[in-house]
Chain A
């Protein structure tokens, strides 16, 4: 069974440009999460989907970030326009559906975004 995949693995863009990150969760996982780690800091929650619905987007930094999950399958995270402080590693994770508190969360390898 394939794990969580993310594309691209690295992206270098200039300030003001647009970038779209993609995450493919494990098949059948209803819960999908986006996280970000900026240099030297802890991983921080951005948002959580259950199927195609946003359950919690309290961690999204500002309205330059837009996440979607088409048909409850893969998800995209768009940054438009990118700023220098958006640089970091963006992780996606998925877990099974339901209200279970102890479902395993499986992480993708991350997308390293560098804004110059």
Chain B
């Protein structure tokens, strides 16, 4: 069964600190992996999209890594801000399909 698992489920950090969220997947064959940010009551918003050949991609203070061999990805947030409080969702798409498999997300809370 194709799955996407994320850890931790939730995380609390102080403003200004860094954090790293993890994503492991078993989707095969693999096409691409996406990280989304979802604020409460809103739809997910794309942060990064990575294909098989990419192992790092940045979007401002967000940096995603991908190891397609071990089927692992991480999202690193630098110098966190209060507005980073949200759920972060890892999504994997298999090759030859438009079907996206979602993780359950990591709920991040940034405290002042």
Contact = CB atoms under 8 A, between A and B. Distances in A.
Given A41-B104, A45-B100, A91 B49 contact: no
Interface residues of A, number: 25
Interface residues of B, number: 25
A41 B87 CA distance: 13
A22 to B, nearest CB: 15
B89 interface: yes
Interface in B73-105: 89, 93, 95, 97-105
A104 B49 contact: yes
Interface stretch (A62-70, A75-83, A105-113): A105-113
Given A55-B98, A58-B99, A101-B51, A107 B45 contact: yes
A93 B98 CA distance: 12
B43 A93 contact: yes
B98 A109 contact: no
B51 A42 contact: no
